[in-house]
């Protein structure tokens, strides 16, 4: 992953979410009087501070430099909350020029805000040097040091050094907890939510995000709260929980609109659009994307503009306009993804491949599909590496923190011994006990952390609702099975299963009923599958079934067993519904006999067949037309 692309990916999401001013112990009256307003309504705070700056005499910068600098700090924080990074940088820079004290909390606040305004890799690297220089002059473990370490962690995340970011943010979080600096700990925790989400550790990221939401609810920080809920929505969206993600983004949108945060509204609209595409609500998704586009264009955030265009192209493709989709995606990929949000590049190539295939431009489609596959594999390898690095670095950070704590304890003991010689024996005994306790504690941490790492590996591969392999792990298992089938010339069938009228079950009986159906299907399906068969949750109510050494007739028999099991699932409904549908699914099948060499190819064919099954009235099975045979089953009552 490129550092510049990572900065773009985080730009519209992270910048402005980690507030710095509440962390530093700034005591200047001009600052403390206005900062709460920034967290509640940054647009209003800007208006107030501009009026106060305008009312100052022309000589105020010389006669009252701290007052002016404090007002600039408020201004910079307000611009940061509104994602206006150029204005944020200008305000923070103006305030820095007025102050000299290297350990002055107000100056450190301005420095932190100034550093956070950059997104290019070179500028971020320079900003990190400035932060390190400032930290070198501070007492290690002090409040200001913890706050700057959080800033440094966020900057390392922006330049694609998640390994460093995890270590720094974990240390800041633990130090804040040890010193009972609740605000510093919560800010570091929010940074950890962002970093862990980018590394695929969605469940722990969600826990940190919820912690920050609770903090801002208690402290009535409306602007911060809207950004926290946005982060929560992003995590839910990547987990495939689209309805809950949309609810979070709508809450963010309402809060942002009430605060005059137009960029925040646009980001929420874009994410609602993306979640609705995941739900295949294409017409509604188009309205949200088109509402976001002009605001993002006016903000000149290139990566987010192109992401919006790519989503609109996906909608065009789904609605039967492949030529229009190709035209848009050609503009999106004009720079081969170097100016795009990193995680959006591969899906854009896949969408263009599908659009070109629909237009029968097979050479172009194959080229784009090859690029997509290369990016997809590279991303999977990088994500696995990053998750492993995150676990290792966090464990080392905990060890380092404990070791430093023990050293500080020993230094205090040594000082006491020099003053109280007569208590030497007493202190030696105490030191021995402390050492034994420290060894016991470190042993416990080692065992507990190993257990935690094993749990994280399970969580990284398992769908939390059904206990089945999640999409990423299913793709890994399916890819390995396909490679084995191709290498050994063995048959293999892949099926996409999608439950019918699932929205009706959720709407009439509640989402708990829908979750019950999915859990029951996962439990029952194990009895219908062979040891080597793979069934994983692909997203929402869709499952991917991989049947190694299974020709088409054997695969159809397996599908029929699963269908009968699904029909037996009882839907728990608080109120009776005479027209409530039975539990059925539609399926699309594709086999290696058609010649696909990659998982994306065979899944794309199965997906096409699934659409045909849905169009046939649901509760049906369709086989990819690329196969030399054709088969289907009539819709069952």
Residue-level pLDDT at 218: 74
DSSP element (H, E) containing 509: helix 502-509
Label the pairing between strands 492-499 and 542-548. Answer: antiparallel
Residue-level pLDDT at 547: 95
C-alpha 239/C-alpha 540 separation (Å) is 9
Per DSSP, which regions of 526-568 are E strands?
534-539, 542-548
C-alpha 402/C-alpha 56 separation (Å) is 50
405, 178 contact by CB (below 8 A) = yes
Residue-level pLDDT at 442: 52
351, 277 contact by CB (below 8 A) = no
> What is the secondary structure of 17-42 as a DSSP string?
TS--TTTS----HHHHHHHHHHHH-H
Residue-level pLDDT at 632: 37
Going by the DSSP 8-state scheme, the letter that residue 510 receives in this structure is -
Per DSSP, which regions of 94-149 are E strands?
none
Q: Which of 474, 395, 486 is nearest to 442 (CA)?
A: 395
Q: Give the right CATH number for 471-623 from 3.20.20.480, 3.30.43.10, 3.30.70.270, 3.40.50.620.
A: 3.30.70.270
C-alpha 500/C-alpha 306 separation (Å) is 34
Maximum distance among all Cα pairs of the chain, rounded to whole angstroms? 95
75, 49 contact by CB (below 8 A) = yes
C-alpha 294/C-alpha 291 separation (Å) is 7
C-alpha 498/C-alpha 637 separation (Å) is 17
Q: Find where tokens 């390190």 sit.
A: 132
> What is the secondary structure of 458-484 as a DSSP string?
HHHHB-TTT-SB-HHHHHHHHHHHHHH
Residue-level pLDDT at 133: 94
Residue-level pLDDT at 199: 67
Structure token digits, residue 341: 């949000």
pTM of the model: 0.48
Residues of the chain with pLDDT under 50: 1-21, 395, 397-411, 414-415, 417-422, 424-425, 427-428, 430, 433, 437, 439-441, 444-448, 452, 456-457, 628-637
376, 347 contact by CB (below 8 A) = no
C-alpha 142/C-alpha 536 separation (Å) is 48
DSSP helix/strand/coil, 498: strand
Structure token digits, residue 5: 């692309």
Q: What angle do CA 611, 616, 617 make, to 5 degrees?
A: 105
Residue-level pLDDT at 565: 92
The sheet carrying 534-539 orders its strands as 534-539, 542-548, 492-499, 585-591, 621-623
DSSP element (H, E) containing 537: strand 534-539
274, 237 contact by CB (below 8 A) = yes
219 half-sphere exposure, CB direction, 13 A CA radius: 20
Residues 385/386/387/392 CA torsion (nearest 10 deg): 90
Q: Could you tell me which residues come within 8 angstroms of residue 234 by beta carbon, excluding any fewer than 6 positions away? A: 13, 197, 245, 271
Q: Could you tell me which residues come within 8 angstroms of residue 472 by beta carbon, excluding any fewer than 6 positions away? A: 200, 380, 383, 460, 461
**Domains of the chain by residue range:** 377-461, 471-623
Structure token digits, residue 28: 């200047």
C-alpha 181/C-alpha 186 separation (Å) is 9
Bridge partners of residue 544, in order along the sequence:
496, 536
DSSP helix/strand/coil, 319: coil
Q: Find where tokens 């800007």 sit.
A: 46
16, 231 contact by CB (below 8 A) = no
C-alpha 114/C-alpha 92 separation (Å) is 5
Q: What angle do CA 359, 363, 365 make, to 5 degrees?
A: 60
Residue-level pLDDT at 408: 45
C-alpha 371/C-alpha 116 separation (Å) is 34
What number of residues does the chain have? 637
Between the two ends of the chain, the Cα-to-Cα distance in Å is 50
Residue-level pLDDT at 119: 73
């Amino acid at each position: 992953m490129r550092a510049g692309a990572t900065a773009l990916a985080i730009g519209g999401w992270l910048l402005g979410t980690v507030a710095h001013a509440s962390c530093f112990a700034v005591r200047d009256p001009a600052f403390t009087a206005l900062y709460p307003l920034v967290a509640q309504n940054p647009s209003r705070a800007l208006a107030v501070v501009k009026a106060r700056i305008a009312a100052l005499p022309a000589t105020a910068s010389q006669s009252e430099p701290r007052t002016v600098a404090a007002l600039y700090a408020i201004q910079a924080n307000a611009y940061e909350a509104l994602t206006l990074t150029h204005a944020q940088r200008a305000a923070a820079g103006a305030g820095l020029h007025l102050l000299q004290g290297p350990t002055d909390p107000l100056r450190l606040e301005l420095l932190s805000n100034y550093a956070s305004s950059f997104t290019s890799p070179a500028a971020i690297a320079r900003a990190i040097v400035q932060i390190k220089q400032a930290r070198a002059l501070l007492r290690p473990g002090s409040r200001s040091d913890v706050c700057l370490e959080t800033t440094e962690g966020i900057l390392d995340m922006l330049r694609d050094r998640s390994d460093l970011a995890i270590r720094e943010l974990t240390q800041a979080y633990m130090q804040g907890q040890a010193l009972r600096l609740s605000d510093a700990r919560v800010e570091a925790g929010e940074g950890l939510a962002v970093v862990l989400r980018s590394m695929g550790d969605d469940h722990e990221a969600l826990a940190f995000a919820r912690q920050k939401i609770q903090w801002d609810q208690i402290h009535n920080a409306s602007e911060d709260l809207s950004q926290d809920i946005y982060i929560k929505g992003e995590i839910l969206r990547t987990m495939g929980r689209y309805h809950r993600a949309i609810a979070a983004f709508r809450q963010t949108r309402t809060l942002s609109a009430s605060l005059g945060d137009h960029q925040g509204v646009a980001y929420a609209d874009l994410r609602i659009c993306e979640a609705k595409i995941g739900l295949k609500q294409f017409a509604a998704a188009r309205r949200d994307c088109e509402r976001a586009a002009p605001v993002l264009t006016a903000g000149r955030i290139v990566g987010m503009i192109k992401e919006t265009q790519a989503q609109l192209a996906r909608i065009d493709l789904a609605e039967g306009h492949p030529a229009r989709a190709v035209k848009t995606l050609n503009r999106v990929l004009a720079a081969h993804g170097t100016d795009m949000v990193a995680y959006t590049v591969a899906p854009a190539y896949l969408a263009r491949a599908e659009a070109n295939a629909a237009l029968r431009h097979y050479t172009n489609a194959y080229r784009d599909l090859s690029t997509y596959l290369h990016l997809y594999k590279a991303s999977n390898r990088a994500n696995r590496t990053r998750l492993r690095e995150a676990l290792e670095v966090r464990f080392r950070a905990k060890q380092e923190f404990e070791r430093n704590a023990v050293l500080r304890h020993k230094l205090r003991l040594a000082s006491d011994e020099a003053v109280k010689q007569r208590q030497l024996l007493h202190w030696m005994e105490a030191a021995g006990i402390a050492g034994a306790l420290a060894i016991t504690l470190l042993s416990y941490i080692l065992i507990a952390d190993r257990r935690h790492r094993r749990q994280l590996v399970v969580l990284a591969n398992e769908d939390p609702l059904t206990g089945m392999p999640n999409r990423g792990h299913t793709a890994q298992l399916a890819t390995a099975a396909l490679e084995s089938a191709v290498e050994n010339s063995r048959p293999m069938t892949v099926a996409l299963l999608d439950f019918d009228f699932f929205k009706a079950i959720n709407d009439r009986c509640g989402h708990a009923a829908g979750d019950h159906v999915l859990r029951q299907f996962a439990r029952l399906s194990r009895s219908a599958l062979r040891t080597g068969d793979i069934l994983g949750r692909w997203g929402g109510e869709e499952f991917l079934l991989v049947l190694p050494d299974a020709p088409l007739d054997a695969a159809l028999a397996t599908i029929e067993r699963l269908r009968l099991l699904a029909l037996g699932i009882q839907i728990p409904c608080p109120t009776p519904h005479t027209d409530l549908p039975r539990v059925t699914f539609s399926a699309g099948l594709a086999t290696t006999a058609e010649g696909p060499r990659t998982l994306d190819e065979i899944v794309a064919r199965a997906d096409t067949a699934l659409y045909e099954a849905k169009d046939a009235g649901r509760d049906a099975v369709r086989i990819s037309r690329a196969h030399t045979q054709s088969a289907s089953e009539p819709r069952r009552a």
